[in-house]
Amino acid sequence: MTGELSPIDKAKFVAAKRAAEFVEDGMRVGLGTGSTAAWLVRCLGEMVEQDGLKILGVPTSTRTAQLAREVGIKVISLDEARWLDLTIDGADEFDADLSLIKGGGGALLQEKIVATASDQMVVIADAAKEVEHLGSFPLPIEVIPFGWQTTQALIEETLVSMDVMGRQASLRMNGSVPFVTDEGNHILDLHLGRIGNPRQLAMVINQIPGVVENGLFIDICDKVVIGYGDGRVETRDINEGTVSEDRLDFVETDNLFRDI
């Protein structure tokens, strides 16, 4: 129940609850991956069950697809949807320009494809995810398994000429074996400390052979909904240049908080 949630989980919940209000009947909605996005899927599932909301959800991972089906959201593929009205997803970091680092959950490739196939992307996050400069969170790079060590060496060599503080790259592991994405690839996490020019870094990294995609989301996010542990919610719209704030009350709902 909500009374048992940590302040961080409360923050994630209120951000997700507010963002769910952007979803309208008949929409095709991209569903993100990660702990905050899972709250959003649960909120939408409650709206489907209790309010009769009718939407088509395009998940960004097998985990999200499974959860969406469990809560009653009709799931289709991006190829079936072709284009989306809205994508709502979390972020590992965001800055004042609403540039993001994503991929902590390992789904950055599908997340970026879905987000860029949407009229609008809304990011939901707790306040701790806001940073002055991107880079404290390791930057995920999805790479093909073939020659990944060569790709890693090329990335580290390239970082010498980039405006970053650190240059170490490490292979993400799942226990004793390499982590494998839904697309069958590996992830290299770049420990950069600070990224001085995210746009330049994103362009250069993607030119390296073996790199599939990077976790920098530039000029993709339209709104960020920031949740706080006391129930406050702040919404920033980068296109309108507006900032609004209100507060949500916690309501205990068995369907929403089961298995939490």
Binding-site sequence positions = 33-36, 89-92, 102-105, 129
Clarify whether 157 is annotated catalytic.
no
Return the bridge partners of 141, or none: 188, 214
Binding-site sequence positions for substrate = 33-36, 89-92, 102-105, 129
Dihedrals phi, psi of 109, to nearest 5 degrees: -65, -55
Taking the C-alpha atoms of residue 212 and residue 185, their distance in angstroms, rounded to an integer, is 9
Dihedrals phi, psi of 131, to nearest 5 degrees: -135, 155
Asked if 68 and 30 touch (Cβ cutoff 8 Å), the reply is no
| Rounded CA Rg of the chain | 18
> How big, in percent rounded to 5, are the helix, strand and coil portions of the chain?
30, 25, 40
Going by C-beta distance under 8 Å and a sequence separation of 6 or more, which residues neighbour residue 190?
138, 139, 140, 141, 155, 159, 166, 167, 168, 169
Going by C-beta distance under 8 Å and a sequence separation of 6 or more, which residues neighbour residue 157?
none
Catalytic pick among 46, 111, 142, 213:
111
Taking the C-alpha atoms of residue 256 and residue 250, their distance in angstroms, rounded to an integer, is 12
Provide the pairing of β-strand 121-126 with 223-227. Answer: parallel
Dihedrals phi, psi of 188, to nearest 5 degrees: -100, 130
- Tell me the catalytic residues: 111
